[in-house]
Amino acid sequence: MKQRTLRERVKPHLAALEPYQPGKPIEELERELGIEGSIKLASNENPLGPSPRAVAAVERAAAGVHRYPDGASFALRAALSERLEVAPGQLVFGCGSDELLELVAKAFVGPGDEVVYAWPSFAMYPIVTQGMGGTPVPVPLDDALVHDLPALAAAITDRTQVVIVCNPNNPTGTSVGAEAFDRFVEALPEDLLLVVDEAYVEYARRPDFPDALAWVERRPATLVMRTFSKIYGLAGLRVGYGVAGAELAGYLERGRHPFNLNLLAEAGALAALEDGEFVERSQRLNAEGAELLTRQLEALGCEVWPTDTNFLLTRVGAGAFEALQQQGVIVRPMGGFGLPEHIRVTIGTPEENERLIKALRTWRESR
Ligand SMILES: *Cc1c(COP(=O)(O)O)cnc(C)c1O
C-alpha cells in the first residue's frame, strides 16, 4: 500500500487556512519588550471588568464542577427568551459567538458554496468559510468605511449560501441605519441565510439602529448573533448566542456539542444578564470615553470614524502601533486590513484613555 504523508491526507482547504491571530497576552508582551505596567486596548474587552454579580455566581457554581453542565442551558435560555420575547427553541448557544459562526458553516457551507460579507470586517468570517471548504466573498466597505449594502446584494449569486452583516462593524465601529438595512433585507432571497453579527449592539447609540430581531419573526432564515464577551465583560467565559427562526435554530443545534457551554459560563452569563446596572454603567463610561477620545484625537489631527461600539478606528500615521506598544499601550494594528496608517483602540477607563493620548502625543512630538 502506498504511504501518504499527513500533508497529502489533510483537507486541502484546511491546510491552506491562515489561522486567526489573537493579540498576545499582556504578560508575554511585557516580557518580550522588557516593559511593565502596560494597558491593553486591543481586544474590545470591558474596561470595568466583569459584573461583580457574574463573578460571585461563577464562584458559587465552582463547587459543582464535578457535574456535567446543563446541555440545554435551561436557566439562561429561559431568561433570554423572556428578555428578547422569543421562543426558547429559537435560541442557540455557543462557546462565544465564534462558535455560532462555525455552526452556521458546518450546517450550510461546503465546497463550491459562497459566503458573502463586507471587508474589512470580522476575521472569523473567511476562516469559518474556508474551514468548511467554502469560498469567501469579501465585498469592500464604501468610502466612509460603512457596509456597502447594495454592493453586498449585488455579490449574491446562485452559489451564495450565507450573507453576513456585521452591525456595528468591527474593526471600523461604523454602522448601518434601519432604512438601508431594511431595504437590503427585504430584497434578499427569502430562504438565503442572513447572519447579523451584533456583538456590539448594546453600545450602539444612533437612534435609527436597525431592529434585526424583528426580522427573525418576519424572515425565519435570519440569525442574529450576540455575545457576553463585550458589554457583559465575560470574554474569558466564552458565551455567545444566536436568535433564529425555529427551523434554522434546529439545524444549527444539530451541529452543536451537547456541553459546549460549560457550567461556570452559564452561571456567569445568567448573573450578568440580570445585572442591568452594570450594563448601564458600561454604556455611560463608553459613551463619555468615545466623545472625549474623539475630540482629543481630532485635536491631534487624527481622523476618527464615528463609532457605535466600544472602540474607535483612527488614522494616526504609520508606525503608531509599535511606538504605542513601546510605551506600554497595546492597540490593534490595521495593516492586515490594508490600512497601515490606522489603529483600532478599545475605549478604556478615563485613566487608560489619557495614557493613550499621552503616548500618542509623545510619539508624534518625537517624529
Ligand atoms: C468579539 C466579536 C465577536 C464574538 O466574540 P465571542 O467572544 O466569540 O463571542 C463576534 N463578532 C464580532 C464582530 C466581534 O467583534
SS (H, E, C) 245-307: CHHHHHHHHHCCCCCCCCHHHHHHHHHHHCCHHHHHHHHHHHHHHHHHHHHHHHHCCCEECCC
Is residue 265 domain-shared with residue 281, that is, in the same domain?
Answer: no
Is residue 268 domain-shared with residue 281, that is, in the same domain?
Answer: no
Domain count, the chain: 2
Which of 257, 273, 289 delimits the end of a domain?
A: 273
Contact 242, 84 (CB under 8 A): no
- Which mutation among 223, 227, 232, 310 tests ligand 1's pocket best, with the greatest number of atoms within 8 A of CB? 227
* Neighbouring C-beta atoms of residue 312, cutoff 10 Å: 26
Query: What distance in Å separates the CA atoms of residue 84 and residue 68, rounded to the nearest whole number?
Result: 27
Q: Which atom of ligand 1 is nearest to the CA of 166?
A: 13
pLDDT value at residue 24:
77
Residue ID of nearest Cα to ligand 1 atom 8: 96
pLDDT value at residue 272:
98
Specify if 92 maps to a domain: yes
Is residue 173 domain-shared with residue 285, that is, in the same domain?
Answer: no
Q: What share of the chain is helix, strand, coil (3-state, %, to 5)?
A: 45, 15, 40
Query: What distance in Å separates the CA atoms of residue 308 and residue 145, rounded to the nearest whole number?
Result: 13
Asked whether the predicted pLDDT for residue 23 surpasses 80, the reply is no
- Confirm or reject: Cβ of 135 under 6 Å from ligand 1: no
- Encode pLDDT of 227-246 as tens digits: 999 999 999 999 999 999 99
Residue ID of nearest Cα to ligand 1 atom 3: 199
Q: Grid coordinates standing for 298?
A: 481630532
- Confirm or reject: Cβ of 261 under 6 Å from ligand 1: no
- Encode pLDDT of 131-169 as tens digits: 999 999 999 999 999 999 999 999 999 999 999 999 999
Query: What distance in Å separates the CA atoms of residue 99 and residue 108, rounded to the nearest whole number?
Result: 14
Is residue 320 domain-shared with residue 234, that is, in the same domain?
Answer: no
CATH code for position 100: 3.40.640.10
Write out the residue range of the structural domain in which residue 207 sits: 52-273
Asked whether the predicted pLDDT for residue 267 surpasses 90, the reply is yes
Is residue 97 domain-shared with residue 145, that is, in the same domain?
Answer: yes
Q: Which atom of ligand 1 is nearest to the CA of 240?
A: 9
Query: What distance in Å separates the CA atoms of residue 26 and residue 33, rounded to the nearest whole number?
Result: 11
